[in-house]
Amino acid sequence: MTTIGEAWRLARQRIDRLDARLLVEHVASCSHADLLAHAGRPLSALQVRQLEALVQRRARGEPLAYLVGSVGFYGREFRVTADVLVPRPETELLLELALERLRALHDPAVADLGTGCGVLAVSLKCRFPQARVVAVDLSPAALVVARMNAALHGVTIRFLEGDWYGPLGAERFDLIVANPPYVAMSDPHLESGGLPFEPRMALTDGVAGGDGLDCTRVIVGGAAMHLLPGGWLLIEHGHDQGVAVRQLLQDAGLTGMATWPDLAGIDRVSAARFPVSRNRESQQDDFFLQPHEL
Ligand code: GLN
């Protein structure tokens, strides 16, 4: 007979301490408090086998989120499967910048391009129920997960399958958010940590020898055709892509380019807006979180 406490101790010897705890809690369907209070409770033979398999997968590098089937993002739990990128904490910066902009709008139209498991679209809709939110993804499997998350959080989002602006016709938005694949194919990072387990199409643009910005070029390049006057594009990118992304934003005829660092101090999100008119390009942005000096 193996008790919860023994299982936890054995798991800790093979994987990270916190991961071990979360896997035991997952298999035993118990909270952290239960784990501490009932460490002497036995696990069934099936639970022991399940835990063993999960610990082995974690030891091989599979993301914890895939093993437990969910991840926390900006205070909510989201379902994830291996069909979607695991939402990263740095994407919460993109969400915060988006929320800040939506606060000033009454009945905003919002598009989330490459929604994955839907964290951005669902979080935005939960916070601003009056917003009309459309979420696009090329992967039907990802859309299944995103729809599940919208249902889980009780929000209605229009989900469309397709390539970036492809399914949007001539629609225009007050806000477009995107966390596209931006890791260059040559980046060795792709072979480390949990990345080999994540969908390649969510991480890279698939262009061998490229800079990883192919999807970003499509998203930025199409923004002027899909933003309302004064509308914002907010896009996540890699730590060394800020200069290139701001240049793309400028080339696309957008104004007020800015880049924000994530909590690790790394350039992570850039933004720009579609001009209101030729003569009124700059608006009062003073109340927004200030970008760092460029
Ligand atoms: N930030 C992720 C990573 O480097 C990549 C996310 C993405 O490509 N959108 O692991």
Measured from the Cα of 203, ligand 1's closest atom is 8
Ligand 1 proximal residues by C-beta, below 6 Å:
88, 179, 181-183, 195, 203, 236
- What is the residue with the minimal CA distance to atom 10 of ligand 1? 195
In a domain, 71, yes or no: no
Dist. CA 246–CA 231, nearest whole Å: 16
Assess whether 131 and 221 both reside in one domain: yes
pLDDT tens per residue across span 165-202 = 999 999 999 999 999 999 999 999 999 999 999 999 99
Closest listed residue to residue 139, CA positions, set 168, 170, 164, 172: 164
Q: Are residues 114 and 234 in the same domain?
A: yes
Same domain, 204 and 280: yes
In this structure, is residue 117 part of a structural domain?
yes
pTM of the model: 0.92
Residues 199 and 123 in one domain: yes
Q: According to the model, what pLDDT value does residue 203 have?
A: 98
CATH code, 213: 3.40.50.150
211-248 pLDDT tens trace: 999 999 999 999 999 999 999 999 999 999 999 999 99
d(CA 68, CA 27): 9
Same domain, 157 and 234: yes
Q: Are residues 50 and 88 in the same domain?
A: no
Residues 32 and 164 in one domain: no
Look at residue 147 and tell me if it is in a domain: yes
90 and 50 part of one domain: no
- Tell me, what's the pLDDT at 291? 72
Same domain for 270 and 128, yes or no, is yes
Instruction: Find out whether 97 and 122 touch, Cβ atoms under 8 Å.
Output: no
pLDDT for the residue 294: 53
- Residue at token pair 């809690």: 25
Distance 116 CA to ligand 1 centre (A): 12
What spacing in Å lies between the alpha carbon of 232 and ligand 1's midpoint?
22
Angle at 113 between CA 98 and CA 233, to 5 degrees: 40
Residue identifier of the C-alpha nearest atom 4 of ligand 1 = 183
Q: Which amino acid belongs to residue 286?
A: D
Q: Which residues pair with 79 in a beta bridge?
A: 70
Using alpha carbons, select from 232, 228, 234, 189 the residue that is nearest to residue 212: 189
N residues, the chain: 294
Owning domain of residue 177: 84-293
Q: Are 139 and 112 in contact (CB under 8 A)?
A: no
The DSSP code for 195 is G
Q: Are residues 36 and 165 in the same domain?
A: no
Domain with 29 in it: what CATH number? 1.10.8.10
- Among 88, 192, 204, 266, which residue has the most ligand 1 atoms within 8 Å of its CB, making it the best to mutate? 88
Centre of ligand 1 to C-alpha 132, Å, is 27
Distance 294 CA to ligand 1 centre (A): 22
Asked if residue 245 and residue 148 are part of one domain, the reply reads yes
Distance CA 146, CA 122 (A): 8
| pLDDT-derived band at 279, boundaries 50, 70, 90 | low
Shared domain for 37 and 145, answered yes or no, is no
Q: Is the dihedral of CA 124, 130, 136, 141 positive or negative?
A: positive
- Nearest ligand 1 atom to the CA of 114 is 9
Q: Residue 6 burial (CB < 10 Å; 0-12/13-18/19+)?
A: middle
| Any domain includes 66 | no
Total of domains in the chain: 2
pLDDT at 81 over 70: yes
